[in-house]
Amino acid sequence: LAIRSDDELAEAAAGLNRLAERIGAITGSLEDRVAERTRELGRAMGELHLLKKLNDAIIHNMPSGIAILADDGRLLYLNASFEQTWQIHPSELGQALQALGRGGPLGEIDWRGEVARLMRDGETLRNVLVTTGQWPNRRVVRYSLFLLPPAQLDGPLRLVGDEFCLAVLSPPGCGHECEHCFAHSSSWKGRHALLLIDDITEQHQLEAQLIQSEKLAALGQLSAGVAHEIRNPLSAISGAAFYIGDVLTDDVPDLSDIEEYVRLIQRNVDRAQRIVTDILNFARPSDAEGGVCDLAELAEQTLAILDKAMVDQGIELQRDLQKGIMVRCRAETVKQALLNLIVNGMQAMPEGGVLHVETAYQESQPVLLVNDTGCGIPPENLNQIFNPFFTTKPAGQGTGLGLSIARQAIENDKGRLEVESQRGKGTTFRILLPPVEVEEAEGELMRPAAGD
């Protein structure tokens, strides 16, 4: 650049000064922006750190066991509850869960197969129940498996010296030794399953006790009718025995009718035994094991102890029981739920009415239907009837547990209990249960009543 005078030099210097001022202003602005961004990043990192701590607190202190499984069934992560319940230490991560759980419920489940099924079908496995052992050492486990999104990791990632990729899965007290931690290793490539698992043994025991209490309470309400039902055959037996005794006291007994009266006694003895057997089948504690049952047979066995009580109350019983509708359930649990529904229907018809019991299919699912022509359930109560201890009966005449226990028991058998009601027209309950294919039913058909 040629400078021909001092004025030009001064002008060039002034221009340079102006440029320096602009550069200084821009630099200052950039420094301010960098400082602000650094403060924002610091705040974000602080929030991220707090969120990690919060996640750690939530995950590791949840009452349910949480674990993550690889596609081959290996255990890659567990929370504190899982560790405490199943006595598996974080140092054992990377091993097959079925092998780690050998000797207990976890060892009874083919986790590799379950994860493979989850990944093949893409459908979440929800609330699967597994029962192992025999009482008093029986354990009941409920688990769900969820498919996690694929993880694409080439190795441990770091951000300003802090773990960034899967640090939220680090065990408590993680020292960021990535080569020894399955939360920061190449094991996380591919697809994984999230396992939620609970040991519900105690819950099942309490449920069984409540069901037993409700059974006895329901039978207590029917005791007068049951006593009358037993008294009828006893009266017939007594009359026949008196006649035989009277004949045998004659000097020349006429034995022509004795055989007929003996057969009459035998028929009524058989009748009384059937009544007592039905009552005992209901009164005995339920077996927690499920099996394949004919829905119509379950209904018939329940109705057998209610016929007389309905007649005495002026209730017409209508049966429409289709044989051969096979379901998988705990037979005594379903019969107890049905007994509760029928007793409720009878109580809704104190002046008599019609009670309709039907087995059928509802969209290919087996259904047991109970309909009464009673007073109906007020709309404001319809959403509350399954709540524990909810009752509209006078004090001392109901616990409010019957419908709650019935629904919980049916849902534990992977079924549903539905209700519809119209005020002044009646109520309909539907018990929907899982269907069983004919081939499967033929392979493992069991008698519905325990001990029959």
**CATH code for the domain in which residue 182 is found:** 3.30.450.20
Q: Are residues 68 and 216 in the same domain?
A: no
pLDDT of 156 strictly over 50: no
Q: Are residues 230 and 193 in the same domain?
A: no
Among 19-28, 129-138, 435-444, whose mean pLDDT is lowest? 435-444
pLDDT of residue 285: 57
pLDDT of residue 96: 92
Pick the last residue of a domain from 199, 221, 254: 199
pLDDT of residue 451: 39
Q: Which domain holds residue 374?
A: 206-444
In a domain, 189, yes or no: yes
- Residue 127, amino acid: N
| Dihedral angle over CA of 182, 185, 189, 192, nearest 10 | 10
Q: Are residues 350 and 259 in the same domain?
A: yes
Q: Measure the CA–CA gap between 99 and 177, rounded to whole angstroms.
A: 26
Q: Are residues 105 and 192 in the same domain?
A: yes
Work out the pLDDT band at 97, boundaries 50, 70, 90. very high
Q: Are residues 162 and 99 in the same domain?
A: yes
pLDDT of residue 370: 94
pLDDT of 155 strictly over 50: no
In a domain, 44, yes or no: no
**Tokens standing for 256?**
């022509």
Among 52-56, 73-77, 346-350, whose mean pLDDT is lowest? 52-56
Q: Model confidence over 366-406: pLDDT tens digits?
A: 999 999 999 898 888 888 888 766 777 665 555 566 787 77
Angle CA 227–229–231, to nearest 5 = 65
Average pLDDT taken over every residue of the chain: 77
pLDDT of residue 222: 59
Total domains present in the chain: 2
Pick the last residue of a domain from 160, 177, 199: 199
Judged on CB neighbours under 10 Å (0-12, 13-18, 19+), 241 is middle
What sign does the CA torsion over 334, 337, 341, 347 have? positive
Highest mean pLDDT among 103-117, 150-164, 408-422: 103-117
Q: Are residues 283 and 300 in the same domain?
A: yes
pLDDT of 166 strictly over 70: no
Task: Enter the pTM of the model.
Answer: 0.49
Pick the last residue of a domain from 145, 173, 199: 199
Q: Measure the CA–CA gap between 407 and 307, rounded to whole angstroms.
A: 24
pLDDT of residue 278: 64
Q: Are residues 219 and 189 in the same domain?
A: no
- Mean pLDDT confidence for 255-264: 81
Instruction: Give, for 128, the enclosing helix (H) or strand (E).
Output: strand 125-132
Q: Where are the beta strands (DSSP E) in 148-299?
A: 158-159, 162-163, 192-199, 291-294
Higher pLDDT among residues 356 and 250, named by residue: 356
- Mean pLDDT confidence for 436-446: 58
pLDDT of residue 449: 40
Highest mean pLDDT among 158-167, 172-181, 227-236: 227-236
Q: Are residues 184 and 231 in the same domain?
A: no
